[in-house]
Amino acid sequence: MLKSGLEINKRRFVLTVSVPLIAYLSISIFVIGWAFVLMFFDYSPGRLGGPFLGLGGSNPFIGFDNFIEMVKGASIEARMFRLSLKNTLIFAFTILPLNLAITLPLAWLLDSIKGRFKVIFRTIYFLPVLISSVGVALIWNNLYNPQSGWLNEIIKFFGGKPVGWFTDSTLTFLGIPVSLWAIMIAYLWQDYGYNMVIFIAALQGVPEELKEAAMVEGANRWQTFTKIVIPLIRPTVLFVCVMTMLSSFQVFDIVQVMTVDKPGIGTQAQVLVLDIYKNAFRYNRMGWAAAESFVLFLIILIVTIIQVRTLRTKWEY
């Protein structure tokens, strides 16, 4: 009797869960499948196209032409794609080490502070995370304003020449346009508090006796940090690396807001998701945008697999 009651409950559970799950997966699969199909068409939602979902006709099948154009093409969209891809890679591979270089030592420092100051500092550093990206972009846009921005005022105060952060097409630092640096700084400022809190949590989980044992063996604080602490928090480092890389590859809102009123020069800092957005929703090139999205998906997939394989551990403490 009890067994059959359980069976009934199980069946009810399966039924209750299956229906929304199937509905959800069906729609997800359709959307993914639709994007996959679109990348082989020169599709614009403004055109009538053929009878089946608007494919064919004035939205013709073009095979791999979008991908060939991305690699070899001289058209403006191909060049914008290549520039955006380059900027996205620069963005992701610059943000990650900078973020780790700031957050890990900062977390270690904060973890070593005792008492209420620890909470105060943690709150201060975490505050930017709570601000919306649009707000962060507006704040930094004001700071970068060539006429009245604080940064240029500080530079002028010390006798320097104001910088056209988003207006000087010649300005680069380490070969990267200053406009892209300006966005990366704003992004880092907003993002580092999140990783810092994660690292603090990880550091608190490192057993004190292991650190003390290392000290007894003659290791100094730096050696303890690099040889004992970091290897022990490697799973957390992996998590932070993967998540930071993912969000960096998908960065959109902050770039959009900081460059929206700066056509041309602001484009120097254009990233791939913004290019996808512009092509899809401004220029009506859904097929091209779908192909770009697929390239971004592949890049993120490959980078994530490499990160997981490189940083994974087979042990726990």
Return residues touching another protein (CB under 8 A). 18, 21-23, 25-27, 29-30, 33-34, 42, 44-48, 51-54, 58, 74-76, 79-80, 146-148, 156, 159, 161-162, 164, 166-170, 261-265, 267, 281-284, 286
Q: Which is nearer to another protein, 148 or 310 (CB)?
A: 148
For 114-252, where are the alpha helices, taking DSSP H only? 116-130, 133-144, 150-157, 178-204, 208-216, 221-223, 230-232, 234-249
Shortest Å distance, C-beta 130 to another protein: 25
Contacts of 200 (CB under 8 A, 6+ apart): 107, 110, 111, 122
Shortest Å distance, C-beta 298 to another protein: 22
Q: Which is nearer to another protein, 261 or 316 (CB)?
A: 261
Shortest Å distance, C-beta 177 to another protein: 12
> Distance from first CA to last CA of the chain, Å, rounded?
45
Q: Which is nearer to another protein, 117 or 150 (CB)?
A: 150
Contacts of 293 (CB under 8 A, 6+ apart): 35, 39, 276
Shortest Å distance, C-beta 99 to another protein: 30
Least Cα distance to 103 among 120, 119, 126, 137 occurs for 126
Q: Judge whether 153 and 231 are in contact, CB under 8 Å.
A: no
Rounded Cα distance between 296 and 277, Å, is 13
Q: Which is nearer to another protein, 142 or 313 (CB)?
A: 142
Q: Judge whether 28 and 19 are in contact, CB under 8 Å.
A: no
Shortest Å distance, C-beta 220 to another protein: 48
Q: Which is nearer to another protein, 36 or 121 (CB)?
A: 36
Shortest Å distance, C-beta 227 to another protein: 44
Q: Which is nearer to another protein, 122 or 278 (CB)?
A: 278
